[in-house]
Amino acid sequence: MGVYETQGFKIDNGGKRVVVDPVCRIEGHMRVEVNLDSNNVIRNAVSTGTMWRGLEVILKGRDPRDAWAFTERICGVCTGTHALTSVRAVEDALGITIPENANSIRNIMQLNLQIHDHLVHFYHLHALDWVDVVSALKADPKKTSELAQSISSWPMSSPGYFRDIQNRLKKFVESGQLGPFMNGYWGNPAYKLPPEANLMAVTHYLEALDFQKEIVKIHTIFGGKNPHPNWLVGGMPCAINLDGVGAVGAINMERLNMVSKIINDSIEFIDKVYIPDVIAIASFYKDWLHGGGLSGQSVLAYGDVPDRANDYSAKNLLMPRGAIINGNLNEVHEVDHRDPQQIQEFVNHSWYKYPDESKGLHPWDGITEPNYVLGPNTKGTRTRIEALDEGAKYSWIKSPRWRGHAMEVGPLARYVIGYAQKKPEFKEPVDKLLKDLGLPLTAIFSTLGRTAARALEASWAAQKQKYFFDKLIANIKAGDTATANVEKWEPSKWPKDAKGVGFTEAPRGALGHWVRIKDTKIDNYQCVVPTTWNGSPRDSKGQIGAFEASLMNTPVAVADQPLEILRTIHSFDPCLACSTHVMSADGQEMATIKVR
Amino acid sequence: MVETFYEVLRRQGITRRSFLKFCSLTATSLGLGSAYAPRIAHALETKPRTPVIWLHGLECTCCSESFIRSAHPLTKDVVLSMLSLDYDDTLMAAAGHQAEAIIEEVKKKYKGNYIVAVEGNPPLNEDGMFCIHGGRPFVEVLKETVADAKAVIAWGACASWGCVQAAKPNPTRATPVHQVITDKPIVKVPGCPPIAEVMTGVVTYMLTFDRLPELDRQGRPKMFYGQRIHDKCYRRPHFDAGQFVEQWDDESARRGYCLYKMGCKGPTTYNACSTTRWNEGVSFPIQSGHGCIGCSEDGFWDKGSFYDRLTNIKEFGIEANADKVGGTAAAVAGAAVAAHAAVSALMRAKSGVQQKSEVK
């Protein structure tokens, strides 16, 4: 490929090639290769999805009422969001409406996932890109306490508390068995926090690990378990019975009280621990505003969280919806999932085959035929890849495009769109955060911006969870306890042919499922997921995806330590099991796969 | 300076007296006599944390997510004090070469003394390249990593049976671990995912008693997978009384009647859901109104719709049929179980203690 320009980036695959495989602290399997120039600045980035499961072909011929359980297993990290997308797609196809209570419960569960996912992402998948665990050993517990108390009223902040944690950490490090912290990049000059901030963050890493298991109990109450709670086409399976015979085994006052407590505890933890930590960490990285990638030019959101049941129009969705292209924040385009010209997937650089690869295909007409071939400039062999050839096919991820544009999706995209739409709930927290940090608006188009938007969104979601809890109570009080609509439960009541689309905003971004039903069975099922958008390889025009764009022009402090690469890739919260299962087609069998 | 099992107990408020009592109880229950108590105490006081390498094949990471939900013990105590989670793509700080180097180091340094936990499974089609790890097929990495391990834990339905990617027509030829690894002891902990406390329960059992848990003939720990969900379901009296939910959200659903007619697979599913329950005992699928989908059973994706009523059980005389379906010996008389357990514990304890004396 040599040198070329795309989307305002100059791609140059000369210089030194660095390979990171596996990329850890993500969901699934992924590889990154970059080219560094003589100043160790990234001038070419190649991101590869390295797994493929073929879920949608497995769905063909199944009962559409079962699809939620299959698609839920696309991802156990964003557990539930695929299930919700699936029941929405099937309900859309079959013309099934759901009761208001089911809408409130689904929203509470979806928001609950956002909160849990964002919190676990920040502390357990992302924090170690900013926080030096070993440096925390040098911290003064008293000063750590002062720091913690200066930014938050969170009660667990005494010098003794931090000293205990530090001692435990010391013992752990001195044991020589470093467990998950082994071979980390400790001491790398790209770490900027003072020891006290590191100790505070490590302490909250452990606290958040304890707390996250509480958050998901809301899924357990309504869905029976977490990960992978149960859902239902037509509503929710959990019946409400407040004061009748058998109430003790249904959604009753005790269950609702538990939900309420968890909602309040979540609000407190986010506002007193998560948000202050993000601000504190950001204040030491204000000079490191790399990683913007496509966020300042092309972003996409489908919108989610319907206020009233059964209305998926933009005005009824509490999460923003729209598309921004060419960096023009003054124009937010409407998004139509059914328009064959808008969302299309390309496979020029993906390990799949189309009859005519010069064209993209809308998910209704998608074809997925695996075609694992490596380009002529690959280094290594078919089963021992040393360096990929990005001029050819190089990923198990397809390249989705919106009206031909590569797009970034996720919390930052949602906040940029909400900001552009001047929605106070999204604009005001961003303005306040920037003001507190003394940064201009352009600073949000960065790795840090992505991380901060996720934290703001967790806080927003926690408040909205409360909103829907109150709504649920009000509706029950008004005498409505329905949770499921069974009018069209029996397949005999379905049309012979039907097609539908369901969408959500998963924690990682815009998620859509497209389903076709024929003779009461799934005829075609197609998912286009957030990490397919963000992790997309190049297309026929050489346009790079959001991961690749975000790495461009980033300086790397130590060439053989991929700390900055991880920091930026992690800021997207990649989910590879989601992105790389995409598959199916109208009746295409997997005939090309050779069984060895 | 290693925090040993004993120190963990101390930190958690257990006295030395209780600890020694625990050791002599362990010795007696293993049939070793009280003379062995000091040796057990010594081993528990001094042994380094067992290294665990946690590999990921084709999966969805729900097993990892479940694992971190553990309430007793807390995940942080497991990771910081009970074992040494030296490699886990989902949580580890390192990536790329630095991550790969850890596998080599553990293999060398702890030859024969580390545990490999596998989440997900290897696909065998396309030369294994449907799951690439470090530029190579995952199946190669799995085989190499397991080569010097003491034992393998197969987490969840993926590693145990194949799970969703192995559902028909299994396009990637996703293959459960025991079909690829044939020369190591494997403990299957099925479920999609398994219950958090079942996962940490299995691990801590192995670390505490230095042996594998008693397994059924399909390789599952009997202590958690010995009975059907139906056997211990709190809605069982409604089944016996013929009180069933007839459609979603009907009066019977609100009263908590049996979900058998809504397709519940509890009568043929071996798991601890109806006793241990989920997320610190908050609920389990049936309690929250949806039937069991049978997620800990082999091939549960290909046994018809989750809403199809089971036709291979009878309302009475259920034992024989369900046993056939489950493929596991049904509960037999308590005395026989106890006698069997005692004999096998004694046999293992003898070899177990020999092993222990080799561990520093």
3-state DSSP call for residue A371?
coil
Contacts of A133 in chain B (CB under 8 A): 93
Q: What angle do CA B119, A176, B65 make, to 5 degrees?
A: 25
Which alpha helices (DSSP H) does A121-239 contain, by range?
141-151, 159-174, 195-215, 217-223
Contacts of B234 in chain A (CB under 8 A): 249
* A69 touches B290 (CB < 8 A): no
B60–A245 CB contact, under 8 Å: no
A382-391, B13-22, B325-334: range with lowest mean pLDDT: B325-334
Contacts of A594 in chain B (CB under 8 A): 125-126
Instruction: Give yes or no for residue A408 having a pLDDT over 60.
Output: yes
Q: Which residue has the tokens 């020369």?
A: B183
Instruction: Give yes or no for residue B204 having a pLDDT over 60.
Output: yes
Predicted local confidence at residue A366, as pLDDT: 83
Give dist(CA A366, CA A54) in Å, integer: 14
Instruction: Give yes or no for residue B318 having a pLDDT over 80.
Output: no
A101-110, A551-560, B344-353: range with lowest mean pLDDT: B344-353
Predicted local confidence at residue B62, as pLDDT: 96
Contacts of B171 in chain A (CB under 8 A): 54, 57-58, 370, 583, 590, 593
Q: CA separation (Å) from B126 to A581, A593, B164, B171, B261? A: 15, 7, 19, 10, 42
Average pLDDT over residues A346-363: 94
Q: Which residues touch A356 (CB under 8 Å, ≥6 apart)?
A: none
Say what the ipTM of the complex is.
0.94
Q: Which residue has the tokens 């495009």?
A: A401
Contacts of B93 in chain A (CB under 8 A): 24-25, 128, 133, 180-185
Distance from CA of A46 to the nearest CA of B (A): 14
3-state DSSP call for residue A386?
strand
Q: Which residue has the tokens 């505490």?
A: B208
Predicted local confidence at residue A588, as pLDDT: 35
Instruction: Give yes or no for residue A297 having a pLDDT over 50.
Output: yes
A63–B293 CB contact, under 8 Å: no
Predicted local confidence at residue A481, as pLDDT: 97
Instruction: Give yes or no for residue B358 having a pLDDT over 90.
Output: no
Q: What angle do CA B122, A84, B175 make, to 5 degrees?
A: 10
pLDDT digits (tens, 9 = 90+) for B286-308: 999 999 999 999 999 999 999 99
* DSSP assignment of A552-595: TT-B-SSTT--HHHHHHHHTT--BHHHHT-----SS---TTPPP
We find that the CATH architecture of domain B5-225 is: 3-Layer(aba) Sandwich (3.40)
Task: Provide the token pair at B336.
Answer: 């026989």
Instruction: Give yes or no for residue A112 having a pLDDT over 50.
Output: yes
B360 lies within 8 A of chain A by CB: no
Q: What is the pTM of this model?
A: 0.90
Give dist(CA B228, CA B215) in Å, integer: 16
Instruction: Give yes or no for residue A596 having a pLDDT over 70.
Output: no
Q: Which of B70, B233, B248 is the best mutation test for A, with the most CBs of A within 10 A?
A: B248
Give dist(CA A418, CA A322) in Å, integer: 9
3-state DSSP call for residue A71?
helix
Supply the mean pLDDT for chain B.
85
B108 lies within 8 A of chain A by CB: no
Pairing of strands B50-56, A509-518: unpaired
* A475 touches A51 (CB < 8 A): no
Percent of chain A predicted with pLDDT > 90: 91
Query: How many C-beta atoms surround the C-beta of residue A170 within 10 A?
Result: 13
pLDDT digits (tens, 9 = 90+) for B228-256: 999 999 999 999 999 999 999 999 999 99
Residues composing chain B:
360
* B47 touches B5 (CB < 8 A): yes
Could you give phi then psi for residue B287, rounded to 5 degrees? -60, -30
* A158 touches A249 (CB < 8 A): no
Predicted local confidence at residue A61, as pLDDT: 95
* DSSP assignment of A72-92: HTT-SSSTTHHHHHHHHHHHH
3-state DSSP call for residue A498?
strand
Give dist(CA A316, CA A333) in Å, integer: 17
Q: Which residues touch A138 (CB under 8 Å, ≥6 apart)?
A: A195
Give dist(CA A590, CA A583) in Å, integer: 10
Query: How many C-beta atoms surround the C-beta of residue B205 within 10 A?
Result: 18
Long-range (24+ apart) CB contacts under 8 A made by B280-285 are B280/A213, B280/A217, B280/B71, B280/B72, B280/B197, B282/A217, B282/A220, B282/A221, B282/A258, B283/A220, B283/A221, B283/A224, B283/A225, B284/A224, B284/A225, B285/A223, B285/A224, B285/A225, B285/A230
Instruction: Give yes or no for residue B269 having a pLDDT over 70.
Output: yes
Supply the mean pLDDT for chain A.
94
B89–A212 CB contact, under 8 Å: no
Q: CA separation (Å) from B342 to A121, B196, B348? A: 46, 28, 10
pLDDT digits (tens, 9 = 90+) for A57-77: 899 999 999 999 999 999 999
Q: CA separation (Å) from B27 to A16, A220, B21? A: 60, 39, 10
Percent of chain A predicted with pLDDT > 70: 97
Q: Which residue has the tokens 């969408």?
A: A503
Nearest CA in chain A to B294: A69
Q: Where are the beta strands (DSSP E) in chain B?
A: 50-56, 83-88, 115-119, 132-133, 136-137, 151-155, 186-189
* B214 touches B349 (CB < 8 A): no
pLDDT digits (tens, 9 = 90+) for B170-203: 999 999 999 999 999 999 999 999 999 999 999 9
Give dist(CA B124, CA B57) in Å, integer: 11
DSSP β-bridge partners for residue A12: A3
In the structure, what pLDDT confidence band is assigned to residue B347 with cuts at 50, 70 and 90? very low
Predicted local confidence at residue A580, as pLDDT: 58
Handedness of CA A366, A368, A369, A373 (dihedral sign): positive
What does R_g of chain B's alpha carbons equal in angstroms? 22
Predicted local confidence at residue A593, as pLDDT: 24
Average pLDDT over residues A381-409: 97
Phi-psi region for residue B327, left (φ > 0), alpha (ψ -120 to 50) or beta?
A: left
B84 lies within 8 A of chain A by CB: yes
Give dist(CA B278, CA B70) in Å, integer: 10
Give dist(CA B177, CA A150) in Å, integer: 51
Number of H-type helices and E-type strands within chain B: 14, 7
B68–A124 CB contact, under 8 Å: yes
Distance from CA of B24 to the nearest CA of A (A): 28
DSSP β-bridge partners for residue A323: A300, A333
B249–A370 CB contact, under 8 Å: no
Q: What H or E segment, with its residue span, contains residue B41?
A: helix B37-46
Give dist(CA B190, CA A454) in Å, integer: 33
Average pLDDT over residues B337-357: 39
Predicted local confidence at residue B17, as pLDDT: 77
3-state DSSP call for residue A144?
helix
* B209 touches B26 (CB < 8 A): yes
Instruction: Please count the CA atoms within 13 angstroms of the CA of A168 that sit on its side-chain side.
Output: 19
Instruction: Give yes or no for residue A14 having a pLDDT over 60.
Output: yes
B131–A212 CB contact, under 8 Å: no
Average pLDDT over residues B100-119: 96
pLDDT digits (tens, 9 = 90+) for B4-59: 667 766 766 667 777 777 777 767 666 667 777 777 676 666 678 999 999 999 99
* A64 touches A233 (CB < 8 A): yes
Domain ranges, ordered by start, for chain B: 5-225
Instruction: Give yes or no for residue A375 having a pLDDT over 90.
Output: yes
pLDDT digits (tens, 9 = 90+) for A492-541: 999 999 999 999 999 999 999 999 999 999 999 989 999 999 999 999 99
In the structure, what pLDDT confidence band is assigned to residue A215 with cuts at 50, 70 and 90? very high
* B149 touches B103 (CB < 8 A): no
